[in-house]
Amino acid sequence: MNEFTSCIYRGNVRHSRLRPKRHQLSYSVFSFLIDLDELPQLAKRLRLFSHNRFNIFSFRDSDYGPTDGSPLRPWIDAQLAAAGIDNSDGSVRLLCYPRVLGYAFNPLSVYYCYCSDGILTAILYEVRNTFSERHCYLLPVESDHTGVVRQTCPKEFYVSPFIGMDMTYDFRITPPSDQVGVGIRETDGDGVLLTASFSGLKEPLNNRTLFHLFAAFPLVTFKIMAGIHWEALKLWLKKVPLVAKPAPPEHLVSLPPHPKTSSE
């Protein structure tokens, strides 16, 4: 029996661009769901996993949030408090790619924030681009949500050189359980431009699973970065127009004035 809330989700990432040229991709990947309060015990109990140290799999606080190496839990609690969300007695679980052999790149990391009774109260989406910049969108979740969560916010951060800034994100989230789902639609005045998703099935986070994952995906994090550049090259060859890069937002975390959130 697995004693940790933290686990692994093995599944697929899919992207589909609709215009001006159609373009699709699909990759087999896995993500860790890390309960931030469990990090010390995970590092002690798992031979192939370390916290803030090199290992086959590792998690570094400096890869996320303020990127200064400070513990993430106080930082996320401060962001929630600034948004008027009380999460002091609840848990925060981060869906992300771990470092593999010391390297990781997370285009999107998702923080699921729960109150003390286990109800999902907020989701923070941390987006990173290939220019070593990052930005976060913090969106409250309705207290009576069940099942799939839908949220909407305006795009405020430059990610792809092939997509402009006058866009809206529509998130469709299946919170972590036996499976997890993260779906994003990117729309503009002409409708849906891009859809992206990750869906995965739960596996225990233990030494046996880590060994098998490394055997099956020995260079998965390198594959992610290589895949980003390979897909960008194919878009360029299709003559999809490039978009100039603006300066990043002044603040690391955005909270839209009137975020829309609903559930199914």
Residue 153 has pLDDT above 90, yes or no: yes
**Range name among 110-124, 137-151, 167-181 with the lowest pLDDT average:** 137-151
Question: Taking the domains of the chain in order of start, what are their residue ranges?
Answer: 7-263
> At residue 113, what are phi and psi to the nearest 5 degrees?
-110, 120
Q: How far apart are CA 181 and CA 213, in angstroms?
A: 20
Tens-place pLDDT, residues 186-241: 999 999 999 999 999 999 999 999 999 998 887 777 778 888 888 888 888 888 88
